[in-house]
Amino acid sequence: MSLMSLVDLSRLQFAVTAIYHFLFVPLTLGLSILIAIMESVYVMTGRAIWREMTRFWGVLFGINFAMGVATGITMEFQFGTNWAYYSHYVGDIFGVPLAIEGLMAFFLEGTFIGLFFLGWDRLTRLQHLIVTWLVAIGSNLSALWILIANAWMQNPTGAHFNPDTMRMELDSLSAVFFNPVAQSKFVHTVSAGYVTGAVFVLAISAWYLLKGRHVEFAQRSATVAISFGLAASLSVVVLGDESGYTLTEHQKMKIAAIESLWHTEPAPAGFTLFGLPDMASRSTHAQLQIPWLLGLIATRSIDTEVPGIFELVDRAKTRIQDGLPAYDALHTLRKHPEDEEARRVLTAHADDLGYALLLRRYTNEPASATPAQIERAAWDTVPSVAPIFWSFRVMVALGFGFIALFAVGFYQAARRQLVHSPQFLRVALWMLPTPWIAAELGWFVAEHGRQPWAIEGVLPTFLAVSPIPAANVALSLLGFVVFYSVLAVFDVMLLRKYILIGPRDTAAN
C-alpha cells in the first residue's frame, strides 16, 4: 500500500478510538458534578432521598467511568505505535501535560472513586461529600490537562525547534499551560459535558415519570438536571463564541472552512446560514447569509476582515517559499553542525519550516519544487470544507435546542408541572442521544479542521506516522472496532439493567 494509505489508516484508527472514548468523557464530566450537587443537598438537609439519588446516579457514573478508562488508555499507546515520529518530534512538550494528567488527575479519580462506592458506611457525611467532590474535580482536571495537550497541537506556543536534536523543545511551561486555545477549549468542552450529564439525568427521569415509577426521585433529579443544564447550555453558546474568536486569532483556515468563506469579504462578513460547499469548483452554491454576523462573532468588530480560503492559500504559498531556506539550512547543519551561517538562516526562517515540509508529500527535494507542486502543497492546507461546514451547523442547532429544552423544563418545574407534562417528558426522552451527537461533531470540527497538520504550522500529518506496514494498521483497526463495539454494547446493557432496577433497589445493593 502507498504511504497515503498508511496515513489514512492511521488517522482513521485514531479517529475511531477517539470517537469511542469520547462517548464516555462528556457523561463522566457532567454526572460527576451533578452527583456532587445532589450529595451536597443531602449533607445540608439530611433527607434520605438525596442520598438515594446520589447513590443511584453514582452507579451509572461508575459504569461510564470504567468504560472511559478502558477506551482511553489505548489512545496514549497509539502515539508510540502509530505516530512514532510525532512522539519523537514533539514528545518533550506533548508528554508533559499527559504525564501531569496521569499523576494529578487520573490518580485522584482512581483513588477516590473507590472511597465513593465503599465509603458510605465508613465515612461521615462530610467526609464522603469531600470524596465525591474530589472525584468530580479529578474528572475535570483530567479534561483540563488533555485539552492543554490538544490545544498545543492547535496552537504550538512556548517551544522552539532545535536543529541539533531534530526535535521541538520546551521554552515556557506557563505558555503551554496558559495557551489561549487551551482556555477556550477547556471551558467549552467541559460545559458541553455538563449538558450531556444534564440531558442524561433528565431523560432517564422523564422515562420514570412517564412510567409512573419513582416519581418523587425522578422529579427531584429532573429539577436538578434542568437547572444545571440550562446554565450549562447557555454557557456552551457563550463559550462557543469565545472559541470562534480564538480560532480567528490562531487558526484562520479552520474558521474559513467552517464558514465556507472562499474569498475575503468586506468587513463585517456575513454568516452563511445555509449553503452547498463545492470543493471541485471551490465555491458555495445556494448561499443564505445573515449580514454582519460572522464578522461580529469572529472579530468582535465591524471593520476587521475575516480572510477567505483563496487569500489564506496565497499566504500559505508565501510561507512555503519562505520556509525553503530553513529546510536547506537544516540539511546543511546536519552535515556541518558548525556552520553558523546556516544556523542563522534557519533561525530567521524557522517559523515557516513546517510549511516547507508540506512539499515532502510531492518531492524528496523541496528546494527544487515546481510552482505546480507549491500550489498543490498550499491547497493542502484547506481541510474538507463541506463536512466541517455542516458538522458545525448541526452542532450549533443542537446547542440552541438544548437551551430551548431546558428553558421549557425550567418553566414546567417552576410551576411543579413536570409530572403533568407528558409531551415535554417525551421530547426530553427522545433528546437523550443528541448531546453525544453534538459533542462528536464538535470534536470532528476541531480535529479535522486543522488538517493537514498534526501540529498546526509545524508538523504535517503525513510525516508524523510510524513507518509500519499499512496492513498491520488495518488489522489493529478492525480489532479496535470489534473490541470497542463489544464494550459499548456491554455499557448500554449495564446502564439499562440498573435503570430498569431503579433507584431504591440499586441503593440497597
Asked, for residue 136, whether it belongs to a domain, the answer is yes
Return the C-alpha cell found at 100: 501531569
Residues 106 and 159 reside in one and the same domain: yes
**Among 3-7, 59-63, 436-440, the least confident range:** 3-7
Q: What is the DSSP string of 78-92?
A: HHHHT-HHHHHHHHH
pLDDT at 508 over 80: no
Asked, for residue 426, whether it belongs to a domain, the answer is no
Number of independent structural domains in the chain: 2
Asked, for residue 153, whether it belongs to a domain, the answer is yes
Q: Which of 178, 193, 222 is the last residue of a domain?
A: 178
Closest CA to 241 of 299, 285, 158: 299
> How would residue 507 be classed by pLDDT, with cut points 50, 70 and 90?
very low
Asked, for residue 277, whether it belongs to a domain, the answer is no
Measure the CA–CA gap between 175 and 298, rounded to whole angstroms: 23
Residues 116 and 38 reside in one and the same domain: no
Q: Which of 178, 207, 237 is the last residue of a domain?
A: 178
HEC string for 41-80: HHHHHCCHHHHHHHHHHHHHHHHHHHHHHHHHHHHHHHHH
Residues 55 and 89 reside in one and the same domain: no
Domain housing 134: 85-178
Q: Looking at residues 309-313, what average pLDDT do you find?
A: 96
Asked, for residue 382, whether it belongs to a domain, the answer is no
In this prediction the pTM is 0.92
pLDDT of residue 505: 52
Residues 172 and 141 reside in one and the same domain: yes
pLDDT at 243 over 90: no
Asked, for residue 265, whether it belongs to a domain, the answer is no
Residues 90 and 171 reside in one and the same domain: yes
Determine the residue type at 206.
A
Is residue 466 within 8 A of residue 10, CB to CB? The reply is yes
Residues 71 and 106 reside in one and the same domain: no
pLDDT at 74 over 60: yes
Q: Which of 144, 160, 178 is the last residue of a domain?
A: 178
pLDDT of residue 405: 97
Residue 482, burial from CB neighbour count under 10 angstroms (0-12, 13-18, 19+) = exposed
Residues 50 and 106 reside in one and the same domain: no
Residues 73 and 94 reside in one and the same domain: no
Asked, for residue 304, whether it belongs to a domain, the answer is no
Q: Which residue has the higher pLDDT, 206 or 251?
A: 206
Per-residue model confidence as pLDDT tens digits over 105-140: 778 888 899 999 999 999 999 999 999 999 999 999
Measure the CA–CA gap between 104 and 200, rounded to whole angstroms: 28
Residues 109 and 166 reside in one and the same domain: yes
Residues 78 and 91 reside in one and the same domain: no
Residues 63 and 120 reside in one and the same domain: no
pLDDT at 80 over 90: no
pLDDT of residue 222: 96
Asked, for residue 473, whether it belongs to a domain, the answer is yes
Return the C-alpha cell found at 332: 546543511
Per-residue model confidence as pLDDT tens digits over 148-187: 999 999 999 999 999 988 899 999 999 999 999 988 889 9
Residues 51 and 89 reside in one and the same domain: no
